[in-house]
Chains A and B, each alone.
Chain A
Amino acid sequence: MSPTPSKKSADADAAAAAATATQARSSATGLGGGGGGAGMRLIVPLQGVVQGRGGLVLGTLIPCALFYFLQFYLRRNRSPPPTSPQPPAANGPDLPGIVRSSSRNFLSARGSSGHAAVSSRAASIARSGDSPYFVGTKKCSEDPYHPVDNPDGVIQLGLAENRLSLDLIGDWLARNVTNTLLDERQGGLSISGLATYQPFDGLVELKMAVAEFMGQVMQGSVSFDPSQIIMTAGATPAIEILSFCLADAGNAFLVPSPYYPGYDRNIRWRAGIELIPVPCRSTDNFGLSIPALERAYNQAKMRGVKVRAVLFSNPSNPVGNLLHRETLRDLLDFVTEKGIHVIADEVFAGSTHGTEDFVSMAEVLNTDEFDRSRVHIVYGLSKDLSVPGFRIGLIYSFNEHVIAAASKLARFSSVSVPTQHLLISMLNDTKFITQYIKTNRERLRVMYALLVNGLKQLGVESVKSSGGFYCWTDMSKFMKSYSEKGELELWKEMLNVAKIHLTPGTACHCIEPGWFRLCFTTLTEKDVPVVLERIKRVVDNH
């Protein structure tokens, strides 16, 4: 079966090619007369071309047909059409879908029974069915672990939620209650504030409070300018909006891998931008390598794909390492030389728990002479402030044109006004915020150490992580085969035998099989031994 690309022009070309080819063939048989087979059918008209008998017409038709076929072939085998989406995560931003560029995505979106076609984006969702990760999430929601009510349930370690410090926020709220949502005196909002259209990219007071917060999170090493902030309903739309601003469909971003599975949905899906993974090696502790970036850039260039930006997370998701100042500088040199952008996803900046200091991209720009207009930072309050449900994210850009465009695009993903007011109130309590950041870090440190040491005793090694909610562990020695298949089998075993849902490295595009990501921030201290005991069940089998 020859797959038909969904692009309209390719359709037209294919039709034209088919028509011309048929024409050429039938003319050829006509001239060739009787038997001779396919070979004769081609040679006779060519003879005709040479000997000038009706050859002029055929001499045009046959090369045309060949040319159309060549074009058709080349188009099919180039980058996939921008409208072919990858099946995204099941639930929440963090659950991965297996990202495979299936040729089935190229099928026409028309249903078989002549139903009205939906877009190819929607059609591929309908086709993706139940990937293993949907299965995992489903199991977690059907049989959720509870220390008392359901001690044998499935423990969810694949979703990034920070429950460690939620009580601090809850306590603040309890101490700072207002009489109603609308109490203006205590930072509530007036009904007209609720009832009229407010700037879609966030209230000025919120931008100011958030800029202040970001400065605190970066431990005072750099200050942020509220006028460079565009607020969005979560970091998810922030990344998408930035992608729409920096690249056209069919362009690409270089992304050091392993990377956050949600990027596939946030960047590829609707914006149609390709993500080119730039593998980082365990031997380098999964550090970013500029030569690897260089290689990936050149390979893309040879394929005819235009790279528009480098996207990286710092602290890294899933690995949890921090980038050094020199690496950030080298990265800036690289993007300047290539004339491209750099996007720093710093959503975990306030969740550092190691001994290293976090260096923001903004800090490097502060101290060094670099062209700022190519630098963009994505941030949000979901991770650092434990409030993912409230949907507060932002783009921080040094490029005024991006700020102008993104502020208009923010209308599709605006932060709810009552939530903005609540946050303004909370963030302005700087004393509380300082205490919160400190306590949160401490709790992260304790929980991380507990889990990592426990895993070590089981023979499971983790990469040293200095920030984020994850342990990036090497379970390759427990796989039956050192391959993706082996990893998937181990993942299934973890889910069904150990009843733990982890994120496998393939979902994060890790090229070395056997790495798994565990989120430790949904656990309490009592849960850790339970988790370790469960993992032991699988480990002991090998």
Chain B
Amino acid sequence: MKGCIFNIDAGYLEGLCRGFKCGILKQSDYLNLVQCETLEDLKLHLQGTDYGTFLANEPSPLSVSTIDDKLREKLVIEFQHLRNHSVEPLSTFLDFITYSYMIDNIILLITGTLHQRPISELIPKCHPLGSFEQMEAIHVAATPAELYNAVLVDTPLAPFFVDCISEQDLDEMNIEIIRNTLYKAYWEAFYDFCKQIGGTTADVMCEILAFEADRRAIIITINSFGTELSKDDRAKLYPRCGKLNPDGLAALARADDYEQVKAVAEYYAEYSALFEGAGNNVGDKTLEDKFFEHEVSLNVHAFLQQFHFGVFYSYLKLKEQECRNIVWISECVAQKHRAKIDNYIPIF
């Protein structure tokens, strides 16, 4: 029944989004890109794709950062266009997507101020999708409580932040904890929101979000080895909306080294496969890349179904992956370091 009335509000945008998706670079494009000798070649080839003339007005010695900026700018324009034309509940859904960028921006700014960097230097590094009005005044705050009371209380992130207020002061460790607590609250809220929308959106998005939550739990665990984070504290940071919940998370909380984490993943078919091929040796793909690959395949699958919001999320994530790929290739080209140029993650 939902499918019938879906098109009234979101049909146009879904069509638009699917159209955008068709512009995502194919494997053949990547094969051409990796053959480029200079960034000028790269620009010339990208002109033949959906990116068109996005670099045409840049003066000639191209830098990777210009390419990165322009790629991001194009993506942001597309996303903002979708957001501006959307109505409830899609607009809330799209806002939810931007919250993760807000979290990243806040963390970036706090860390920056902690290291005594001027705010004007940090602002250009923030993701434009996650910018909000009070963002630039964030360095007023010296403690999490202040941060909450002065800055974040007016932003949509306020409900996620409530758990972090108890932290005493802002140091490296606490910032990391704040980030993960924020993300945990964010994933769980997003998960609940998608559940509440129901229908195909819930089917598709819960799958993707569950994976995101599990990935975070696993990465937190692996990164916590050798730090002073206690196991109890660690367990508090796990998002509880994934497939690992509750048994897997309990097992992860007890883990002491990488092998034990791997043993936990053994119980879950999709994750054990990811650990199988991962390694740190030359030529092996890292666990991180494996996760990215799995994310890409999940997001590609979102396009197999119609009449749901998952396509917007997936499109953004796929396009981001594409930007990462292009930037990776451009870096390799610019630094004449071709050995690892094939380490991009193809999408189609």
A binds B: no
B-to-A contact residues, CB < 8 Å = none
